Structure 1
Amino acid sequence: MFDVWLMFSGAFLAATLLPGGSEVLLVGLLAQQPHTWLALLIAASVGNTLGALTSYYLGYVGRFAKTPQDFQSKRYRHALNWMEKHGRWCLLLSWLPLMGDVLCLLAGWLKLPIISSTLLILVGKTLRYGLIVWAVI
């Protein structure tokens, strides 16, 4: 049970404070206890999704302080262009390193619907972790 909580917290932190690392943690935990693959997959997916929703919330709150012209970094401009072109469907790519965090932040800033945003983020992250589980087991 400790492994599941470790996976959840590692995935949550990877989506908020610490870049990366949750995939390595998942592989390590699967190597030790492959029979817990489903619990680890769920913990990683839910933890990482909740971390992404933290970014969504920060974007939602931050919209009062920033305008589109304030996003000068290339990463923000690129992500904003994606969001304007493809809308909430971009959130299926929220698992991408660096860009995924920005997509979640902008989803909140653009006030995309929280329920559909959450589902798309969850699907994208579950597919990523599912591929890792499949590759290891």
Structure 2
Amino acid sequence: MLSLFWVALLSATLLPGGSEVWLARQWCQGHSVLALWCVATAGNTLGSLVNVALGRYARRFQDRRWFPASPAQLARAERWYQRVGEASLLLSWLPIIGDPLTVVAGVLRLPWWRALAWILVAKGARYALILGMAASWLEPLCR
């Protein structure tokens, strides 16, 4: 199950990957659904917090030419984030847009505990849904 934690963590960072196949493999091996949910949620949440940390760290380089966002783009992102709000982190589980959302939360200095709360809810719900559906679509494949 430690491997599930690491796969979930790495798949939540900006690195490409997905933890669903590994989660399914672990489920087929008969591991406890609650344990799988806890491990996958913890790993994926921690991976997203790595993105938040990267965003917080990257902000110190905002005046450099190579920084990926101009001051105007940062200001626009801050206005968007104020309008849409930190609840946008509920979409952090989505492919392609989820990881950048967590980086933006870091760049815009969302407090750690609030980022953790939103991300934990999103990731926990995602894995609960996957594991809830597992019995119907994975059972035949596990034999």
Normalised TM-score (structure 1) = 0.83
Structure 1: gaps spanning 5 or more residues: none
Residue among 21, 25, 36 paired with 2:22:
25
Rounded to whole Å, the distance in 2 between the matches of 1:115 and 1:19 is 26
| TM-superposed deviation, 1:90 | 0.6
1:121 alignment partner in structure 2: 119
Cα deviations by residue, 1:40-60 (Å, 9 ceiling, x for unpaired): 110000100100000000100
Structure with the largest fraction of helix: 1
Bigger drift between 9-18 and 22-31 goes to 9-18
| TM-superposed deviation, 1:133 | 0.2
**SS of residue in 2 equivalent to 1:125:** helix
Task: Assess, with a 3 A threshold, how the Cα gap between structure 1 residues 86 and 17 changes in structure 2: closer, same or farther.
Answer: closer
**SS of residue in 2 equivalent to 1:117:** helix
| TM-superposed deviation, 1:19 | 2.0
1:12 alignment partner in structure 2: 9
Native 8 Å contact 1:20 1:97 kept in 2: no
Residue among 56, 59, 72 paired with 1:60:
56
Alignment of 1:77-116 (within 5 A): 80=77, 83-116=81-114
Native 8 Å contact 1:83 1:103 kept in 2: no
Identity of aligned residues (%): 43
Query: Number of matched residues?
Result: 127
Q: Kindly name which structure, 1 or 2, has the bigger radius of gyration based on alpha carbons.
A: 2
Amino acid at match of 1:39: A
| TM-superposed deviation, 1:96 | 0.8
2:41 alignment partner in structure 1: 45
| TM-superposed deviation, 1:32 | 1.8
